[in-house]
Amino acid sequence: MALGNHSTITKFLLLGLSANPYIQALLFVLFLGICLLTVMGNLILLLVIRADSHLHTPMYFFLSHLSFVDFCFSSVIVPKMLENFLSQRKTISVEGCLAQVFFVFVTARTETCLLSGMAYDHYAAICRPLLYGQIMGKQLYKHLVWGSWGLGFLDALINVLLAVNMVFCEAKIIHHYSCEMPSLLPLSCSDISRNLIAVLCSTLLHGLGTFLLVFLSYTLIISTILSISSTSGRSEAFTCSAHLTAVILYYGSALLRHLMPNSGSPIELIFSVQYTILTPMLNPLIYSLKNKEVKGERSLRDSRDLPQLHKGQARWNRPAFTEGRREPRAPKSSVQVTPQPRGACAETAHAPRCTRRPRACSDPQEPRDRETHMKTQAW
């Protein structure tokens, strides 16, 4: 390898965020918590999208890959940072540094392509709703996702292969907490013109190129929303606030970081922490809080098999299974019952009997007995 033939430097020194041991202890606890939240948040979001069939849509296919990219992004940078917080020797080997540069390139470039693909998906859903199924077909959004991964790996491979041939001089101090290509180029004493051209092309393609696609998509989205007359319609149409927030956080801090001179200033480190550590942690929170589908509200609303609560009672959306059918009648009795007139005497096999003693059924001797009784009382 050319690096070993022309240079005796085998390790770089990472200065990190602070040299104060007390501040380093506090930073270790802080970034350990951020790392755990990032891993848990992205893994939970991946499991939710995988388990819920209502989320098997193009937008959540993009979001699942974005969560995996954020998980990898945090896993590439944070563990080495935590190790340096507790170690006296804050060094990293040249091979390890180049490996970190490779994976930072892969994750960062892939994330920019995924964000631009998600912006196009929002454009098709809001500006072309009737043609959305034709525009965002299954083959198209899968090609966009895998194309994002392919461009990320290709960009990283080209830049790292050119960086392997660089010759590093006595200066081995990196004024940063991780290895990035802008931090390695000033340490080389060989010709880095090809490296600068490769970095410039990748920045223009994956940085400004994808940013222009996102900007164009949201310009058309906002113009479409403003053409809606009702305020409620505008609020319902603008469903991409979570993605817009993630775009602003990532692109804003990443572009400012790479446009600033590599001096290790506090502002430069803040922007680096923002897009490499904080954004992967915030993305699951942003998408889960802004989207009703992730919170489960859409699944309950759209599912016709689940009862919905209405004034304390369960009401089913589906019609009853007996709708359109005749209710079964009570079986007829085999015994024929002949109705009798009211007050009539019912004759049985044993003796005549009156259910009610009407005057027609009275004993004919009763008036005579009553008259004799009255005469007797008169006497």
Calculate the average pLDDT of the chain. Answer: 76
295 confidence band (pLDDT: 50, 70, 90): low
pLDDT tens, 35-72? 999 999 999 999 998 888 888 888 889 999 999 999 99
With a cut of 90, say whether residue 106 has pLDDT above it: yes
165 C-beta neighbours (distance < 10 Å), count:
16
Q: Are 67 and 294 in contact (CB under 8 A)?
A: no
Per-residue confidence (pLDDT) for residue 232, from 0 to 100: 67
Per-residue confidence (pLDDT) for residue 158, from 0 to 100: 93
Rounded to two decimals, the pTM is 0.72
pLDDT tens, 11-28? 888 888 888 889 999 999
CA distance 88 to 83: 10
CA distance 60 to 32: 28
CA distance 156 to 161: 8
Per-residue confidence (pLDDT) for residue 370, from 0 to 100: 52
Q: Are 74 and 6 in contact (CB under 8 A)?
A: no
98 confidence band (pLDDT: 50, 70, 90): very high
234 confidence band (pLDDT: 50, 70, 90): low
